[in-house]
């Protein structure tokens, strides 16, 4: 049984990261990535973007250490090559190779004082691409050809230019030791079909959001929802579950996340967040009392299961922000996910987030980041990892929000591993103001359907 009839008449009020109303009566159906032009824009910009490290290419070619550590081939070295000095010339050549027409949306720019080259493929190339590897392959090939042409590299050493860019690929399934950075992981590393949008790490998302916790959660939710579309999970019975979860947890519907953090941010605990969420759910008729035991213990049940799950997920994000924000440390997010769901289930009788999946995800994340890996970095995690793949949508926004609130305890913080992405997308409205952009697009989507 589907909930299309219910969804067609369901609306929410979206509030932004400062608790201000972004849009009223936003249709829940309009938050589907396939119907929301703002999310489509976010996905398009992410998919067509790569960064090439010109400084690393220069060092590799000068020393002959191409393909990463232990790959030293001195006979391929070009000791006097000055790529950074000719960075602008290389940029112009690359743009000439990539641009399809004079007025297309190709973007080739230098960043970091000419040390890095941003490449965004035009729409005409992306439309004929079978997957999202075209930017790396086309951009990398164009850069290699530009270097060979600019410095008139002889044919025997030209392959070294390619290896300096692509690393050990295709001997490895990724660009190990190369100079290409992409927000998306290589398809051969996908845990399952349709997982492409889950390969974006927490650090990349937090960098794009400029370390804003709620914007990080919103952008993370966009990628998770797009995965759900790709994987066929946003159809049928679960469609309303995930659309409402996205609206409430990631887009702060009815100001639930922001207001909970505002009330409990100073002296709150995970338990108090649970109480706050249940109280609000009771007030709004989302849950009701099922039974009161002789001991005085009250058992609740959801009046609307999908909506209750959205409330519970919002509470999990709020609890993560309250705890990780107080500690100024991202590492406790896995423990928050476990304890929040366990206490919610045992203290109220209500279903926990996604009916056990979020708790299971938290347990594995806790084990792999604090035991087996000896303190693994949550900032480096993505939803394609065995840690986070179990629950759909609900865990990754918590991890991203926690990473954004970290104040320096991570060995590989966002600004160190992925800082370039904050510069690339800083002027794109959909990344700067995801709440307003997505809500506005959802309203327009509803008007088009009418």
pTM score, whole prediction: 0.94
Backbone angles phi, psi at 329, to 5 degrees: -145, 130
324 and 369 co-located in one domain: yes
Short-list 154, 44, 149, CA closest to 96: 149
CA-CA distance, 219 to 397, in Å (whole number)?
Answer: 8
145 and 94 co-located in one domain: yes
Task: List residues with catalytic annotation.
Answer: 373
Backbone angles phi, psi at 193, to 5 degrees: -60, 140
Q: Decide if 252 is inside a domain.
A: yes
3-state per-residue secondary structure call for 286-299: CEEEEEECCCCCEE
| Total number of domains in the chain | 2
Short-list 197, 183, 253, 313, CA closest to 438: 253
Place of tokens 């860019």: 165
Kindly report the number of other CB atoms within 10 A of residue 342's CB atom.
15
SS3 377: coil
Kindly report the number of other CB atoms within 10 A of residue 187's CB atom.
16
- Final residue of a structural domain among 189, 209, 238: 189
158 and 296 co-located in one domain: no
- Final residue of a structural domain among 189, 220, 250: 189
257 and 184 co-located in one domain: no
Range of the structural domain that residue 209 is part of: 194-417
144 and 241 co-located in one domain: no
- Asked if 55 and 155 touch (Cβ cutoff 8 Å), the reply is no
122 and 63 co-located in one domain: yes
Tens of pLDDT along the chain (450 residues) come to 345 556 778 999 999 999 999 999 999 999 999 999 999 999 999 999 999 999 999 999 999 999 888 888 888 899 999 999 999 999 999 999 999 999 999 999 999 999 999 999 999 999 999 999 999 999 999 999 999 999 999 988 899 999 999 999 988 999 999 999 999 999 988 988 999 999 999 999 999 999 999 999 999 999 999 999 999 999 999 999 999 999 999 999 999 999 999 999 999 999 999 999 999 999 999 999 999 999 999 999 999 999 999 999 999 999 999 999 999 999 999 999 999 999 999 999 999 999 999 999 999 888 877 766 655 688 888 999 888 888 999 999 999 999 999 998 888 899 888 889 999 998 899 999 999 999 999 999 876 665
């Amino acid at each position: 049984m589907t909930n299309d009839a219910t969804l067609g008449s369901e609306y929410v009020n979206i509030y932004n990261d400062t608790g201000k109303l972004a849009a009223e009566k936003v249709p829940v159906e309009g938050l589907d990535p396939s119907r929301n032009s703002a999310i489509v824009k976010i996905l398009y910009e992410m998919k067509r973007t790569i960064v090439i490290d010109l400084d690393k290419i220069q060092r590799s070619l000068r020393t002959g250490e191409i393909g990463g550590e232990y790959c030293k081939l001195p006979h391929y070295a070009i000791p006097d090559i000055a790529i950074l000095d000719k960075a602008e010339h290389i940029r112009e050549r690359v743009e000439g190779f990539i641009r399809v027409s004079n007025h297309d949306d190709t973007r080739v720019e230098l960043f970091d004082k000419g040390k890095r080259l941003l490449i965004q493929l035009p729409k005409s190339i992306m439309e004929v691409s079978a997957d999202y590897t075209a930017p790396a392959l086309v951009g990398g090939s164009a850069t290699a050809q530009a270097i060979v042409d600019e410095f008139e590299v002889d044919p025997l050493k030209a392959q070294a230019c390619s290896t300096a860019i692509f690393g050990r690929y295709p001997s490895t399934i990724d660009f190990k030791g190369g100079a290409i950075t992409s927000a998306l992981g290589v398809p051969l590393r996908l845990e399952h079909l349709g997982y492409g949008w889950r390969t974006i790490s927490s650090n990349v998302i937090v960098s794009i959001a400029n370390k804003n916790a709620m914007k990080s959660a919103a952008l993370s939710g966009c990628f998770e929802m797009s995965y759900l579309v790709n994987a066929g999970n946003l159809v049928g019975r679960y469609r309303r579950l995930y659309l409402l979860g996205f609206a409430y947890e990631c887009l702060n519907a009815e100001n639930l996340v922001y207001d909970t953090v505002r009330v409990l941010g100073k002296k709150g605990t995970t338990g108090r967040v649970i109480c706050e969420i249940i109280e609000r759910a009771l007030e709004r008729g989302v849950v009701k009392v099922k039974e009161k035991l002789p001991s005085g213990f009250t058992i609740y049940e959801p009046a609307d299961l999908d909506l209750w799950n959205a409330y519970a997920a919002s509470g999990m994000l709020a609890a993560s922000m309250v705890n990780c924000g107080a500690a100024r440390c991202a590492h406790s997010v896995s423990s928050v996910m476990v304890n929040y769901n366990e206490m919610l289930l045992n203290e109220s009788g209500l279903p926990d987030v996604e009916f056990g999946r979020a708790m299971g995800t938290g347990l594995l994340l806790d084990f792999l980041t604090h035991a087996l890996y000896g303190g693994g970095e949550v900032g480096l995690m993505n939803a394609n990892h065995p840690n986070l793949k179990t629950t759909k949508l609900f865990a990754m926004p918590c991890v991203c929000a926690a990473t954004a609130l970290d104040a320096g305890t991570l060995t590989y913080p966002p600004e160190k591993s992925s800082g370039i992405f904050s510069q690339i997308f800083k002027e794109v409205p959909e990344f700067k103001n995801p709440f307003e952009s997505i809500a506005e697009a959802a309203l327009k989507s509803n008007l088009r359907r009418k």
